[in-house]
Structure 1
Amino acid sequence: MTEPQRRDGERPILAQPPSGAAPPEPPPPITGPSSAMVIVAHPDDAEFLCGGTVAKWCAEGWEVRYVVVTNGDKGSHDPAMHPEKLAAIREEEQRQACRVLGVKECIFLGYPDGFTSDDHELREQIVRLLRRYRPEVVITWDGFRHSFNHRDHRIVGMAAADAIYPLVRDRLFYPRHEEEGLSAHQVNEVLLAGATDPDYEVDITDYWHVKVEAILCHQSQLGGRQREDFLRLREEQQRRDGTDRIYERFRRWSIRRPVPARTAART
């Protein structure tokens, strides 16, 4: 087993403590190489939200899988487009983006765009995948943020959060999984993308170009935007941040509650 190493370019963002209070002790940086699962609502969500982080982790030897909940079959203003054709286009665009980033596998759940529900069917599917692939880290949408955003983003974020805790950990949720050889699992770290109050950042400066190449795979969604447009966005973010570096930012949950030995994965 590879000894975990401190991860360059990843750090907590510390909030200022109240006057006179000691600063909070941050959790340690996420270490690797490791395994991660990115759970998002639509094809292209992951590239915009965390494509640089995924590229960085894959280059460092991580095993990263995507779970894309909907097929994105409504995301077009083209009067000649129909849902079945768009779904096929977007699935292929997502597969191309995964190849650019180095993602090991992309799993499509196939829900129609805009028709996800935060119900036991979706949660069970996510729990099943978490128990099958046993990622240590999950990136998903921040379903808790108080800002205007797509319904599917909110629902997928909430469903993933519920699946991560406590459903995947506690064996009596979906006991049929044990009959299939899928035992309880503990996700150690969760990074919530799109958060309004991020507290963890990943320096993606060296992987920004890979992120953009992956985004450019989603031509059906870009409305003619090209590489130069993303360069301008990068420069604007650098000016706002007052740095020549570029970051992806998340809200981080460190769970790290051990799974009882009797339900741990078989080795």
Structure 2
Amino acid sequence: MVAHPDDADFGCAGTSAKFSDAGIDVTLLVVTRGEQGGLPTADPSQLPTLREAEQRAASAHLGITDVRFLDGYRDGWVEPTFDLQRDVVRVIRDVRPQRVLAQSPKRSYERIHGSHPDHLAAGEAVVRACYPAAENPFAWPEMIEEGLDPWHVGEIWLMADPDATHAVDTTDVFPRKVAALMEHSSQTGHREDLEKFLREWAGRTATRLGLAEGRLAEAFAVVPVN
């Protein structure tokens, strides 16, 4: 669950591909359609449709066929409102995931790009939705009448978290991460160094978390929901 198209592919494309390869069903939920993200020459009226299409194409490289977008949330204006929490709870109760990957609600001043305000807000809304709202029968009880019974999420994995200690070795699926991000041409089409940038970033992550030399990784803070 992320704020914008391409957020999940930067943060966890390799991990998502490994989950899919292992037979795990993966659902991607995107809060906005990223209408404030584009080159200066972009037509803002076309960006929502374009970026949604880019995300669906990117997800196909990772084995993700269930891609969902929320309605009514503006890129650049995301806040962890009760409306957003309710909409996330509805998806959680529908999908019934054992594990939720989300953006960290903690700001990192070492890498401010990962702490975009929308990312922080989306992460906070997801954490609040996972606990306690999704499993609380008294939170939006009308959902039970819709057939969306309370659901307990087992754990939350936070991307871009300053205290991330869990590494997923993504070396073998790295080409698919690159392919996914190349589908986001409105965001990455101008970057001839995209693969180099991603490889160096993943290499630093792997080294920091103790993987063998030459390995690539994505990092998460794992939060058990007891």
Which residue number corresponds to residue 243 of structure 1? Answer: 213
Deviations 1:174-228 (A, max 9, x none): 00001011111011011000011112110011100111110110000015224x5
1:41 aligns with 2:11: no
Q: Quick one: distance in 2 between partners of 1:239 and 1:132?
A: 37
Q: Offset of 1:68 from its aligned partner?
A: 0.3
Taking a change above 3 Å as real, the CA distance of residues 172 and 150 of structure 1, as seen in their structure-2 partners, is same
Q: Map 1:129-140 to 2 at 5 A.
A: 129-140=91-102
Which residue number corresponds to residue 61 of structure 2? Answer: 100
Taking a change above 3 Å as real, the CA distance of residues 193 and 236 of structure 1, as seen in their structure-2 partners, is closer
Of 145, 152, 169 in structure 1, the residue corresponding to residue 135 of structure 2 is: 169
Q: Quick one: distance in 2 between partners of 1:184 and 1:126?
A: 13
Q: Quick one: distance in 2 between partners of 1:100 and 1:62?
A: 15
Flag the structure with larger Rg. 1
Which residue number corresponds to residue 78 of structure 2? Answer: 116
Provide structure 2 residue ranges, at least 5 long, that are not aligned to the other structure: none
Q: Offset of 1:232 from its aligned partner?
A: 5.2
Q: Quick one: distance in 1 between partners of 2:49 and 2:201?
A: 34
Q: Quick one: distance in 2 between partners of 1:100 and 1:126?
A: 25
Provide structure 1 residue ranges, at least 5 long, that are not aligned to the other structure: 1-38, 258-267
1:205 aligns with 2:171: yes
Deviations 1:19-55 (A, max 9, x none): xxxxxxxxxxxxxxxxxxxx00000000000000001
Which residue number corresponds to residue 88 of structure 1? Answer: 49
Q: Map 1:207-226 to 2 at 5 A.
A: 207-226=173-192
Taking a change above 3 Å as real, the CA distance of residues 106 and 237 of structure 1, as seen in their structure-2 partners, is closer
Q: Quick one: distance in 2 between partners of 1:107 and 1:232?
A: 28
TM-score by length of 2: 0.90
Q: Offset of 1:233 from its aligned partner?
A: 4.2
For 1:250, the aligned partner's letter is: F
Q: Quick one: distance in 1 between partners of 2:145 and 2:156?
A: 28
Q: Offset of 1:165 from its aligned partner?
A: 0.4
Comparing 98-107 and 47-56, the one that deviates more: 98-107
Which residue number corresponds to residue 231 of structure 1? Answer: 196
Higher helix proportion (structure 1 or 2): 2
Q: Quick one: distance in 1 between partners of 2:129 and 2:83?
A: 11
* Count of paired positions: 216
Q: Offset of 1:134 from its aligned partner?
A: 0.2
Which residue number corresponds to residue 12 of structure 1? Answer: none
For 1:170, the aligned partner's letter is: N
Q: Quick one: distance in 1 between partners of 2:151 and 2:163?
A: 28
Taking a change above 3 Å as real, the CA distance of residues 246 and 69 of structure 1, as seen in their structure-2 partners, is same
Q: Percent identity?
A: 37
Q: Secondary structure at the match of 1:118?
A: coil
Taking a change above 3 Å as real, the CA distance of residues 219 and 126 of structure 1, as seen in their structure-2 partners, is same
Q: Quick one: distance in 2 between partners of 1:190 and 1:244?
A: 28
Q: Quick one: distance in 1 between partners of 2:197 and 2:28?
A: 28
Which residue number corresponds to residue 33 of structure 1? Answer: none
Runs of 4+ with >6 A deviation: none
TM-score by length of 1: 0.77
